Structure 1
Amino acid sequence: MTVSDSPPPDDEGDRRPLLVAIVLFAGIAGLTATDIALDIGEGTSLEHVLTESGLFLLALAGLVTMGLRFAALRRRARALEQEAGALAERLEASAAEAARWRAEAHTVLTGLGAEIDRQLTRWSLTPAEKEVALLLLKGLSHKEVAEARGITEATARQQARAVYRKAGLTGRHDLAAFFLEDLLLPPTSPPE
């Protein structure tokens, strides 16, 4: 089981019962050891001393077991904290990369957005149809378009069909291809 597969430690839910058990087992072991020492000094029977020694060993075994479980829990918590830190760093790096790309591509994206809007206007789309077309270009499904616009899915489908009809396209794939086909050409190698 990897760190990411293990459930996150719950400090109150996992650690407190272990600490209570450790204290109880330590108390039982300490009291039993004291009782054994006093019993031996008083000349108690061997059977009684052996019985209490068994109880002492059981308390000691419980103390060691709970101590080991507590140490494992602390290791797991540290590993999860490290993993969370690494994930936060990766997320921050991804966000920085996305911000850098947006900044570098801002002029191009602004111009592209304006050109897409001009083309949608040339197709004589209504404002609602333009919004549907843009949401479809972003990859939203009809259901997601309906949720984003606060309309029914049937209305979203009807508006999408109107976009395709007015544009002379057959569907969402053609709509995306109309705008993206020339943008996604492979880079040309410079002449030698």
Structure 2
Amino acid sequence: MKNHERLVIGIILSAIAVFIGLDLFTDARQGAAWWHLAFELAIAIGAIFGVLLLLIGAMRLRANLAIANINISEHKATTEIWRARAKTYIDGLSKAINTQLDDWKLSASEKEIAFMLLKGLSLREIAQIRGTNEKTARAQATSIYQKSNLNGRADLAAFFLEDLLG
């Protein structure tokens, strides 16, 4: 239930409780039957109970939201620390990969495709990003594998990851 819905329902239930409470007071002064007063009292208590349930639910939601925000902040801080620690290594790895691609004498477009292949993009995605045909991307990937003496995408990834993973 959304906040504005809770607010509307809370206002309606509060109004019901107030109006029935006033009606109870006037009915009691006019000598209404006990069962009539008991019925209206039950309705007023039910409305008040509904308002209390809405308030308790809203407080629980706010508490859960506060906890979630704290958790998000902690995760963001942890992520930033990891990124800062890993940046030097990632930059070094990127330079090392680039050097190896130069050693294989790949063209600029082949190097770009090799990096996309290492990131896990499909040939279709690579073609879309580069604004080319999928067959062109496939031909360039084949050229990369031939120049590097590797058998495919898995071998390309393994070439760079093998030493990293020990």
Alignment of 1:6-25 (within 5 A): 10-13=2-5, 15-25=6-16
Tell me if 1:163 matches 2:144.
yes
1:27 to 18, 29, 37: 18
Q: Is the 8 A contact 2:28 2:37 kept in 1?
A: no
Specify the alignment match of 2:107 in structure 1. 126
The superposition leaves residues 34-89 of structure 1 with CA deviations (integer Å, 9 ceiling, x where unpaired) of 2123213xxx5x3xx53243123212212212322331232123212212321221
For residue 134 of structure 1, give the secondary structure of its aligned residue in structure 2. helix
How many angstroms does 1:131 deviate by?
A: 0.4
- Give the distance between the partners of 1:53 and 1:183, measured in 2 at CA: 77
2:162 to 181, 186, 192: 181
Tell me if 1:84 matches 2:65.
no
TM-score relative to the length of structure 1: 0.73
Q: What is the count of residue pairs matched by the alignment?
A: 166
How many angstroms does 1:170 deviate by?
A: 0.8
The superposition leaves residues 142-177 of structure 1 with CA deviations (integer Å, 9 ceiling, x where unpaired) of 233233333333332222112112222110111122
Specify the alignment match of 2:126 in structure 1. 145
- Give the distance between the partners of 2:67 and 2:165, measured in 1 at CA: 39
* 1:20 to 1:134, Cα distance in 2 relative to 1, 3 A: same
Specify the alignment match of 1:5 in structure 2. none
RMSD: 2.3
Q: In structure 2, give the amino acid aligned to 1:10.
A: K
Runs of 4 or more, structure 1, over 4 Å off, are none
Specify the alignment match of 1:37 in structure 2. 28
Tell me if 1:74 matches 2:59.
yes
- Give the distance between the partners of 1:31 and 1:163, measured in 2 at CA: 85
How many angstroms does 1:136 deviate by?
A: 1.1
- Give the distance between the partners of 1:60 and 1:101, measured in 2 at CA: 61
For residue 55 of structure 2, give the secondary structure of its aligned residue in structure 1. helix
- Give the distance between the partners of 2:23 and 2:101, measured in 1 at CA: 86
Q: In structure 1, give the amino acid aligned to 2:119.
A: K
